[in-house]
Amino acid sequence: MTPNEKSKVLSEALPYIKKFFGKTIVIKFGGNAMVDNKLKQSFAKDVVLLKLVGMNPVVIHGGGPQINKSLNKLGKKPLFEQGIRVTDEETMTIVANVLNDINKEIVSLIKENGGDGKSYSNKKTIGIIKAKKLKVQSKSIDLGYVGEIVSIDPSFMKHLTDNGVIPIIAPIGIGNDNKIYNINADVVASKFAEILNAEKLVLMTNTKGVLDKKNNLITGLIPKEIRRLIADGTISEGMLPKINSAVHAAKHKVNTVHIIDGRVEHALLLEILTDQGVGTLIKDQ
């Protein structure tokens, strides 16, 4: 990049840096961005830069591809109901171990790129998320150790924002029964965005965003349009928890929610610090 090009990029980014200074940005990190080394470095650099320019990024990560790989090694076939992983006791152990490894890797990447990451991924630190067993309407379906959020302790954020730390949070919670529960990462990210009064929620995925039936990107959606797309089957399977989480956040005063293509290098910065965007914008109205 030439000096003139760098100057142009900076001048375009400055209004967004000023606009979002001091604001909390909740990011769900998932998809190809988590398994491609170049994209992992790109993501870490983006998060550290957001922190350096005065924003407060909070990272919630998934681990679907890595969990599936570990299950396959043991001859266990991944099972899903309505886009949610069915989690028996053995699977829960695998999920917890994989998520803890991923969490530590992200913290390491953040530190390699000049930031300070704080891990929330083991039984001691996941106490910030209180959970209970998720029950679905169909009595014939038992999701096992899949949880829903009962409460989140937001007090951890003051210490982290005061000390310049970036929290890296695994999507698992602990119940009153002292058992660990697997929670959909999009759901966790949405709830954190709500309780932290986040300016933005960014959900990274393996597609360009929400697609229509011809696989064209839909750049903007409101809840009424989303209900229609779910009803006609355009939005289905793994996109359902993501889109429902996006709507929940938008309805709970998160200013904007973005579903973006994590396969694009520096997708996070492109979405937050430019006007071009790389995904679908979801607003309450």
Residue 34 maps to a domain? yes
User: Which pLDDT score is estimated for 109?
Assistant: 96
In this structure, the chain runs to a length of: 285
- Residue 81 banded pLDDT, cuts 50, 70, 90: confident
What is the domain-level CATH number for residue 70?
Answer: 3.40.1160.10
Identify whether the C-beta of residue 281 lies closer than 8 Å to the C-beta of residue 225. no
Output the average pLDDT for the chain: 88
Residue 197 maps to a domain? yes
Q: Is 235 helix (H, G, I), strand (E, B) or coil?
A: coil
User: Which pLDDT score is estimated for 2?
Assistant: 55
Window from 1-15, 147-161, 178-192, 205-219 with minimum mean pLDDT: 1-15
Based on C-alpha coordinates, what's the Rg of the chain? 18
> How many domains, the chain?
1
pLDDT tens by residue, 192-251? 999 999 999 999 988 888 998 898 999 999 989 999 999 999 998 878 888 999 999 999
Name the packing angle between helices 185-195 and 239-251 (round to 10°): 10
- Residue 186 banded pLDDT, cuts 50, 70, 90: very high
User: Which pLDDT score is estimated for 6?
Assistant: 46
Residue 12 maps to a domain? no
**Which of 188, 195, 183 has its CA nearest to residue 157?**
195
Rounded to whole angstroms, the Cα distance separating 85 from 230 reads 20
User: Which pLDDT score is estimated for 25?
Assistant: 96
Residue 263 maps to a domain? yes
User: Which pLDDT score is estimated for 158?
Assistant: 76
Measured between alpha carbons, how far is residue 89 from residues 120, 145, 178 in Å?
21, 7, 14
Q: Above pLDDT 70, what percent of the chain?
A: 94
How far apart, in Å, do the first and last CA atoms of the chain sit?
39
State the residue range of the domain holding 100. Answer: 20-282
